[in-house]
Structure 1
Amino acid sequence: MANLPTCFTRAEALADGWSARRLDAAVLGGRLERIVPGLYADADAWSTMPPWDRHRAIARTASRTTPDAIISHASAAALLGLPMPPHPPQLATLTLLDDSRTSREDSWRRFHRGATPPSHVWIRKGTPFLDPARTVVDCLRDMRPGDALAVVDAALRRGLVTSAGLAAMREHQRRWPGIAVADLLLALADGRRESWLESVSAYVFASWEAPPGVPQVVVRDEHGRFVARVDVGWEGLGVVGEADGRGKYLLDAPPDVGQEEAAARKVVAQGVRESRLRDLGLEVLRWETADVLGRQEEFRERWESALGRARPDVVTARFECSCCARPPTDCASATRTDRFRGS
């Protein structure tokens, strides 16, 4: 299989000199994994690939074998390295270059239609896909809202897109399905968020009509001394929030320290940090992935309880934006989409 990529079609194998009988024998013998009828992968390599790496491999295969379509939507976002939900979609997503043509999805490809000028196409390492601005707005229209917000937040943070570029792409797609949802998400987008969980959480809070919090706020005491940087702050409410994915506790762990010990050390440090925040009069709310995905009712009750306990009138903390050290409402960052807010 040296001449074949990790994931390949039956037609590619036959063109490489394989026979149909040899393919079937390799599947029965465990050398090949039949992903779906007509699509194969090296069994050993496939078994160790993370789910989204598998999805990217399938998308590249779809691009190679579907010359009139180009990788788009969630598949293009995955190729760009933008944050994705834990589980990828079953189908690779492509956009047909001929807008007048229709094509039915099959067991591993989903096709979209939409006017695609050459300027919307990127080619990286031989793989063509839609450029970041087009990909982001496509995702805003097509993906689950929280996941889509994570895509646009990360694209802004990494400088892959600008507010002006997104506005131009939104105008290009102004009559396309789902554009109203895209507008709502663009009004929420903020490149200061640093993780998928932070972005999904922001969408959940917005769905409750909670006041918007400011991402990645630096908290200082009354003397201006640094206390903490929190994932989100509601200065007027006297509340700060921490979105705690397990990976957060393993970042920067010393190489000679096991994962469990590293996590335990982080938990202890977080407890000390939280005490310092409470000493400044702040109410601290913590949550994890399961809260925003499966326990939203309970999570909302905890949020409302935190608001009830908070006493903003006694808070002595000072908040500032982590990216520019200005007051949180006066952020100078280019990773925001203020032009979409208040509309």
Structure 2
Amino acid sequence: MKLMADVVDVLGRRGGSATFADLRALVSARSIRNALDSGQIRRVAKGVYALPDAPPALTAARSHGGVVSHLSAAQHWGLGVVNRPVLPHVTLEPARVRRRTGLPCILHWASVPALDDVTTPLRTVLDCLRTLPMGEALAVADSALRSGCVEQDELLDAAAKLRGPHRKRILRAAALADGRSESVLESALRALLIERRIEGFVPQVVVQDGQFSARLDLANPARRLGLEAEGFEHHGTRRALVKDCRRHVNLAIRGWTILRFTWEDVMFDGDWVVDAVERAGGRQPLTMQALRAA
């Protein structure tokens, strides 16, 4: 039993999965067979073993001899994602052939920097900027900057050096990423405005005077127009509701218009969101010079 426990312990320290060679460096072949026969571990591909509850992305990557990447890597690093991937994303070296016995996943081919079989946080953000729509890409990049696992200058420098498809999109998204954004919904809302060329909105604007202080998810200070990205859990108690109503009134008497949008609004009815922002005065009127240029 001790030997089987050692196998489970080794796999646990390896993130739930490992190759036969990695296991054999620490435990005997007999202990591996015993753990397999007893159901404590499972064989997921030729020469690859995993715990029954091993993380699927890391297990899939090792079953193919690759690394966790893209949205799956973003989840691994604890970054915000708008939509969870249906299948794990795995990146293989360009010359590597896909394994027929590997677990189901979405495969990519590239030479990428990795840590413990997962693309580095910086490379993860770049991959997401390359492959995702603007709202989803900004959610990942904003989250990485907010957590501190990627620095703004580091991201801009890496984006400038990157080659390959969609380079302009990567550069634009990297320049727009903002660590002040505090949720994926807020990032997606900001992306809607950016894509419709509605300017002047910045994240986490503080409205403050001697008697009152509030912070808005997005705001155009010049127009005193604030936007709130409301999650389902926003009002968990009666006290929270009362506090929020008082906050809303205090903003109104200070000349602020506040528009509040839900997940369903932002994700499924972007046209209505943009129209509401424009009707509330969110789009700056064009000057005569701008009209002539258009």
Q: Measure, in 1, the Cα distance between the counterparts of 2:215 and 2:73.
A: 32
1:149 equivalent to 2:138? Answer yes
Q: CA offsets per residue over residues 152-192 of structure 1, 9 Å max, x none?
A: 11111111111221123223422x22222212212221100
How far 1:297 moved relative to its partner?
2.3
Letter in 1 for 2:226: V
1:291 equivalent to 2:265? Answer yes
1:277 equivalent to 2:251? Answer yes
Q: Measure, in 2, the Cα distance between the counterparts of 1:167 and 1:100.
A: 29
How far 1:104 moved relative to its partner?
8.0
Letter in 2 for 1:73: H
Q: Which runs of 5 or more structure 1 residues have no equivalent in the other structure?
A: 24-31, 46-55, 251-261, 311-343
Q: Measure, in 2, the Cα distance between the counterparts of 1:111 and 1:101.
A: 11
Q: Measure, in 2, the Cα distance between the counterparts of 1:248 and 1:205.
A: 23
1:100 equivalent to 2:100? Answer no
Structure 1 residues 230 and 103: alpha-carbon distance in aligned structure 2, compared to 1, 3 A threshold: same
Listed as ranges, the matches of 1:12-161 within 5 Å are: 16=33, 57-67=55-65, 69-85=66-82, 87-97=83-93, 99-103=94-98, 108-116=104-112, 120-123=113-116, 128-161=117-150
% of aligned pairs identical?
32
Pairing partner for 1:209 from 179, 184, 197: 197
Q: Which runs of 5 or more structure 2 residues have no equivalent in the other structure?
A: 24-31, 285-294
Question: What is residue 182 of structure 1 aligned with on the other side?
Answer: 170
Asked whether the equivalents of residues 70 and 127 of structure 2 are also in contact (C-alpha less than 8 Å), the reply is yes
Where 2:189 maps in the other structure, the secondary structure is helix
How far 1:92 moved relative to its partner?
1.1
Where 1:161 maps in the other structure, the secondary structure is coil
Letter in 1 for 2:56: I
TM-score by length of 2: 0.75
How far 1:107 moved relative to its partner?
6.4
Asked whether the equivalents of residues 228 and 273 of structure 1 are also in contact (C-alpha less than 8 Å), the reply is yes
How far 1:40 moved relative to its partner?
9.7
- The CA RMSD measured in Å over matched residues stands at 3.3
How far 1:143 moved relative to its partner?
2.1
Q: Measure, in 2, the Cα distance between the counterparts of 1:201 and 1:16.
A: 52
How far 1:226 moved relative to its partner?
3.3
Where 1:230 maps in the other structure, the secondary structure is strand
Equivalent residues, number: 257
Q: CA offsets per residue over residues 296-321 of structure 1, 9 Å max, x none?
A: 2222232122218x9xxxxxxxxxxx
Question: What is residue 317 of structure 1 aligned with on the other side?
Answer: none
Pairing partner for 1:248 from 234, 239, 248: 234
Question: What is residue 292 of structure 2 aligned with on the other side?
Answer: none
How far 1:205 moved relative to its partner?
1.0
Bigger relative contact order, structure 1 or 2 (CA pairs below 8 A, ≥6 apart)? 1
